[in-house]
Structure 1
Amino acid sequence: MTVTRKAYRAAILHSIADPAEVGVQASHEYFEDGLLVIDQGRINAVGHASELLPTLAADIEVVHYQDALITPGFIDTHIHFPQTGMIGSYGEQLLDWLNTYTFPCERQFADKAHADQVAKLFIDELLRNGTTTALVFGSVHPESVNALFEQAERLDLRLIAGKVMMDRNAPDYLTDTAESGYRDSKALIERWHGKGRLHYAVTPRFAPTSTPEQLAAAGRLLKEHPGVYLHTHLSENLKEIDWVKQLFPERSGYLDVYDDFELLGERSVFAHGVHLCDQECQRLAETGSAVAFCPTSNLFLGSGLFNLPQAERFKVNVGLGTDVGAGTSFSLLNTLNEAYKVMQLQGAPLHPFKSLYLATLGGARALRLDDRIGSLRPGNDADFVVLDYKATPLLDYRLQQSTSIEETLFVLATLGDDRTVRETFAAGRSVHRR
């Protein structure tokens, strides 16, 4: 008989609430010498090792990590799988960057063999960086989404993805039509949504590249398939916002375009939201829609600084996104490093426990999956990472000076990267070991 129970001993830290709502001290649980008990791919118990060890059966294996911290797996709420090969492309802001780099790169994903090759590299990179769930843009080609889901299914990952819908203002080789975009998306939903731990996201690229007919078709897909996601871009760049005003002069603003086509809702995630007004934040909160905060790409493309305190004031759900390939790292630790700087420039320092929340439970709440992932609560999927305090000589030396878990967490988010991730687990199974 296969033994499904296993226990992992190390320092353990996880978010249990948003620090903005309950205060810093009530937002997390920390066990300096902790134990995480896994059974059949789910978390069975978490707590102090001294209390849990005596309750274990004699035959349960206990893996003890020295100089390490266990946290929930990281959750990336906005990333582009087909842009893996163009990460770190020089010198443009959003609209020129799309035409110069993105569209030619995405053209290659009509070839299933190419999509398969990149899907493997992409998933490997996520896991190497401790990311166990991601909300992912495919390309316009169904082949790209099939390749990605096939790779995720093999590893039993919780992944959300969708085919881009784009029927105007893009090269002919990358456009679909309102009808073909609807039809292809519907077929992918029927094949993949709810299969294992996979979910589908209806994915119009952004308002300027979809006709009103296509946005209406996206809204129809959401109505016909309750439980699927909506994933698109919103208010990233000032020129983009002006373009939306020209294309939809009858609407009061960028968010109102999506609202008019009934694309806001509890599983709608809007990437960026750098330039939102109070009324738009209010509307996002009213509809339960979420924003993906993508600091690395916002800095890289010169788009602006996301106003996290404004989102908190209106109680908008916010997750963290790497936004590869405009983002320059798959690492959510690296992304938190950039998020801290974005907030410093606005005079609102990002607390280490808020960082932890954004990368884990905040992302899970943005995706409406906090009953399954994002914390180490018993009953949740056993998606977790082991962070190595001695990953680099500098990290090791710096952490020797740390006097609290708060300081340790901040140092990990400031100096950490893929090397810090010692092991990644999905549904209780090791899927990456450094």
Structure 2
Amino acid sequence: MTTARLHLGQTLSFDGSPFEDGLGAVRHDRHGALLVQDGHIAAIGPAETLKAAHPQADRVDHGTALIVPGLIDAHAHYPQTRIIASWGKRLIDWLNSYTFPEEMRFGDPAYAAEVASAYLDLLLANGTTSVCSYCTIHPASVDALFDAAAARNMRVFAGKTCMDRNAPDGLRDTVQSAHDDSLALLERWHGRGRAGYVITPRFSPTSTPEQLEALGALWAAHPDCLMQTHLSEQTDEIAWVRDLFPEARDYLDTYEQHGLLGARGLYGHAIHLEPRERDWLRETGAALVHCPTSNTFIGSGLFDMDGLMAEGQRVALATDTGGGSSFSMLRTMAAAYEIGQLRGRALHAAELLWLGTQGSARALHAADRIGNLAPGLEADFTVLDLASTPAIAQRSARAGDIWEALFATIMLGDDRAIAATYVAGARAAPA
């Protein structure tokens, strides 16, 4: 058994969802402490109480910084790391002009390993401790990400992207290879250390019905895996799907017909949903993943956070890098706030933080392991400096409560606000 370590500072954790229970769902201790042992949280509470109960524990004093659950990015494309912030395209042109040429390079295992390592280091520098990422059609791209995650002891979810049509030569697999490669990767990685395999059809336009059917069968055979794809991101995409699947009732039906709708499904974007789609997503308990910087950067539309939450949908938050314009979940929270404002609903700081921690953990079916500060959970946490820049410091000095201070960091913060990132109790960033 390793020596216990007591982290002192402000602490913030959740007893429920602030969307459902208001601020009563949040516990904030201005003089708090987090006891960590063997990579897990052993206790959380007032600093004086835990210091008295554990006098032999090593102490790390974070001063007035705020200790929060590690940030969780529920939808990203790590192979797009080097094309982030590329100019002037909407979704389909984005894929053809930037994404597909870059993804071709991931057939080289050395290149995939280089990008995977750089990507995860960027996440850690921005306070993100877990991610759910698409890879490319190349099995080596999956191995590269899971290898890099294992070296950092990060809990990472990922899968081979499957496409057998409407993609360039050299970036298409087949019905059989999509199934067989995914199965081999699943058997190699799922549940190994902190890895979780995700069955990953990119989206309906790049998979034939036969490939969707094969991946649906794979998911049925391995129902403990997650499945991730895209849904109703842009109106021209929806029109394309309608042309490709004329018999389908709607976009969601292209997945539903082939066994790709379920409670462990993750549906990225979900902006332009039909009433039937909303009803059936809620009934099945599937998760919708809000990608606000991507939705504005690529011009997709405004996610209906308030309406979807009010009707009981499961919602997560994500960067969607590189269509998203930032690796920072703080910037992602800020963009979610701005989109909420455009739809007439100002999200509270507690709601924004919950979306990027426990909300995403719930969507990933990992809330029993990550996404909160509670005894028994894995000790992934982020330490926020609430006065990290002169602009934030002057605003924070005027804050009347923790929420005003946290909101300033959400709206104005970047990687400079990350005082430290801890993964399984070990400091991972800054170096």
User: Equivalents in 1 of 2:188, 2:59: separation in Å?
Assistant: 39
In structure 1, the residue matched to 2:27 is 29
* Conservation of the 8 A alpha-carbon contact between 2:3 and 2:57: no
In structure 2, the residue matched to 1:375 is 372
1:80-229 alignment to 2 at 5 Å? Answer: 80-229=77-226
Partner AA of 1:395 in structure 2: I
Q: Taking structure 2 as the reference length, what is the TM-score of the superposition? A: 0.98
Q: CA deviation at 1:389?
A: 2.2
Secondary structure of the equivalent of 1:266? coil
Range moving further from structure 2, 24-33 or 187-196 = 24-33
Secondary structure of the equivalent of 1:312? helix
Q: CA deviation at 1:263?
A: 1.0
Which of 337, 342, 349 is equivalent to 1:340? 337
Residue 78 (structure 1) aligned with residue 78 (structure 2): no
In structure 2, the residue matched to 1:431 is 428
In structure 2, the residue matched to 1:54 is 52
Q: CA deviation at 1:86?
A: 0.3
* Conservation of the 8 A alpha-carbon contact between 1:16 and 1:361: no
In structure 1, the residue matched to 2:239 is 242
Q: Taking structure 1 as the reference length, what is the TM-score of the superposition? A: 0.98
Range moving further from structure 2, 176-185 or 385-394 = 385-394
Q: Deviations over 1:359-394 (max 9, x none)?
A: 101001111111111110111100000111232121
Secondary structure of the equivalent of 1:159? strand
Residue 306 (structure 1) aligned with residue 303 (structure 2): yes
In structure 1, the residue matched to 2:415 is 418
Q: Deviations over 1:215-262 (max 9, x none)?
A: 011111111112111011000000000000111111110011111111
Q: CA deviation at 1:282?
A: 1.6
* Conservation of the 8 A alpha-carbon contact between 1:27 and 1:353: no
* Conservation of the 8 A alpha-carbon contact between 2:289 and 2:317: yes
User: Equivalents in 2 of 1:391, 1:367: separation in Å?
Assistant: 31
Partner AA of 2:282 in structure 1: A
In structure 2, the residue matched to 1:8 is 7
Q: Which runs of 5+ in 2 are unaligned?
A: none
Which of 266, 286, 290 is equivalent to 1:289? 286
Secondary structure of the equivalent of 2:259? coil
Partner AA of 1:312 in structure 2: M
User: Equivalents in 2 of 1:17, 1:260: separation in Å?
Assistant: 34
Q: CA deviation at 1:409?
A: 1.5
Q: CA deviation at 1:428?
A: 0.8
* Conservation of the 8 A alpha-carbon contact between 2:250 and 2:274: no
In structure 1, the residue matched to 2:40 is 42
Partner AA of 1:137 in structure 2: Y
Q: CA deviation at 1:426?
A: 0.9
Q: Which runs of 5+ in 1 are unaligned?
A: none
Secondary structure of the equivalent of 1:109? helix
User: Equivalents in 2 of 1:125, 1:54: separation in Å?
Assistant: 37
User: Equivalents in 1 of 2:3, 2:178: separation in Å?
Assistant: 43
* Conservation of the 8 A alpha-carbon contact between 1:78 and 1:135: yes
Q: Deviations over 1:274-323 (max 9, x none)?
A: 11123212211111110110000000000000001221122111110100
